[in-house]
């Protein structure tokens, strides 16, 4: 299904992609910063170590809760307004989290995490914004290029952590102060964004399908399922990684390096993922992503040497890239422009609902499912199996349907 009117050239889309790539690089840097430090900070603040990853879970929960309102804001006032709201929430969340660390108050730190989730929700719409002014042919490439901006974030974020984590008397306080600066500087990019505000619907405008009709459309249902599984599995394992690395006797800098390699692997394939989708079809790319995610689990279960962590997290990043970008491209091609606000918000509500459950489970599996870090890490990676089966079965069902047409 084509969802974009005929576009003579993609000059405007290419300009917007440049802005969004830079935003992904600068504003996106706070995500590895937070994922490296939040679990370790939570472990030091929480009275029960099973709650160590609760800050990350609340970030994802905040993103889930904000998905529909954020989509509505962008549908009514435009992408720029929504992205400014997201950056402001990121700065406020960093401020509240820093204050929680200063007080040594876990509930305050959790409140900052929940607010940060609003930023994470807005950040998730960068990939959809890349398609707004793009032609059908350029759309998968636009999504890929914007996601590729995460390469710089993968370098910038962990390096900031190394410089700031122990820069102040209170561990990680400097990191969360740096998060505030990242949001303030990064938000300036959105003044250069050139995406028209969606026109207000007239009385005779097409209303499109209801949310129920959209989510029960086979192609949309499978796209959302595969996106949710890809993101949930990535979050499940990545959330526990710093705890596992440190728990197995390595240093915080080792943990930062492992996460850095992981985030690089998440975004490096984006330079060619769009081309692969155009050449081999989106379903094959999503399926390849699921296979690579399974391979990450196999490597992680085979040992806890530092090399195992690096290889497993590298594969986890590549698998997420193919699975999530492929599912995003599949979804973008399955709904009409006037259904954008309704469908994209619903998609992120479901995706981040699954990610919330995964991140909540991650800390419990890691810290409370065995007597050692090794047993916890094993439990985390074994938990990947049912979700991989769900996504694989859904994709196979779609491809075996009589009305299936490969894109």
DSSP assignment of 351-381 equals HHHHHHHHHHHHHHHHHHSSSSHHHHHHHHH
Q: Residue 1: pLDDT band by 50, 70, 90 thresholds?
A: very low
> Mind listing the pLDDT tens digit for each residue in 11-65?
888 999 999 999 999 999 998 898 888 888 888 898 887 787 789 889 988 988 8
Confidence class of residue 8 from pLDDT cuts 50, 70 and 90?
Answer: very low
Cβ atoms of 215 and 9 within 8 Å: the answer is: no
pTM: 0.75
Number of H helices, E strands in the chain: 18, 0
Q: Which two tokens stand for residue 97?
A: 């989290």
Domains and CATH numbers, the chain: 11-197+209-400 (1.20.1250.20)
Neighbours of 100 (CB within 10 A): 23
234 pLDDT higher than 90: yes
Percentage above 90 pLDDT, the chain: 47
pLDDT at 206 over 70: no
pLDDT digits (tens, 9 = 90+) for 132-168: 888 878 887 888 888 888 888 888 998 999 899 888 9
What is the C-alpha separation between 2 and 134, in angstroms, rounded? 12
């Amino acid at each position: 299904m084509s969802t974009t009117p005929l576009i003579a050239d993609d000059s405007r889309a290419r300009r917007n992609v440049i802005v969004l790539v830079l935003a992904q690089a600068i504003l996106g840097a706070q995500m590895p910063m937070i994922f490296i430090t939040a679990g370790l900070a939570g472990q030091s603040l929480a009275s029960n170590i099973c709650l160590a990853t609760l800050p990350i879970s609340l970030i994802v929960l905040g993103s889930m809760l904000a998905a529909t309102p954020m989509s509505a804001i962008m549908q009514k006032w435009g992408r720029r307004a929504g992205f400014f709201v997201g950056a402001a929430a990121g700065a406020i969340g960093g401020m509240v989290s820093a204050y929680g660390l200063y007080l040594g108050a876990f509930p305050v730190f959790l409140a900052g995490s929940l607010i940060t989730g609003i930023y994470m929700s807005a950040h998730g719409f960068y990939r959809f914004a890349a398609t707004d002014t793009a032609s059908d042919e350029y759309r998968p490439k636009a999504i890929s290029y914007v996601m590729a901006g995460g390469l710089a974030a993968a370098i910038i974020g962990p390096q900031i952590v190394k410089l700031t984590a122990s820069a102040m008397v209170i561990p990680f306080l400097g990191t969360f102060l740096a998060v505030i600066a990242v949001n303030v500087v990064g938000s300036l990019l959105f003044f250069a964004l050139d995406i028209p505000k969606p026109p207000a619907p007239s009385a005779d405008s097409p209303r499109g399908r209801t949310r129920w009709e959209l989510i029960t459309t086979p192609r949309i249902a499978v796209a959302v399922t595969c996106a949710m599984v890809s993101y949930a599995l990535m979050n499940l394992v990545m959330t526990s990684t710093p705890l596992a690395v440190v728990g197995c006797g390595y240093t915080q800098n080792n943990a930062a390096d492992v996460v850095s390699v992981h985030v690089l692997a998440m975004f490096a394939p984006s330079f060619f993922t769009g081309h692969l989708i155009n050449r081999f079809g989106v379903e094959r790319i999503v399926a390849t992503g699921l296979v690579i995610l399974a391979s990450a689990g196999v490597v992680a279960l085979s040992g806890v040497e530092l090399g195992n962590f690096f290889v497993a997290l590298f594969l986890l990043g590549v698998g997420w890239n193919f699975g999530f970008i492929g599912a995003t491209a599949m979804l973008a091609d399955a709904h009409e422009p006037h259904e954008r606000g309704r469908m994209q918000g619903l998609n992120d509500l479901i995706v981040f609902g699954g990610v919330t459950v995964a991140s909540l489970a991650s800390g419990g599996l890691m810290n409370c499912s065995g007597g050692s870090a090794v047993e916890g890490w094993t439990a985390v990676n074994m938990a990947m199996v049912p979700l991989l089966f769900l996504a694989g079965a859904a994709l196979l069902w779609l491809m075996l349907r009589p009305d299936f047409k490969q894109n």
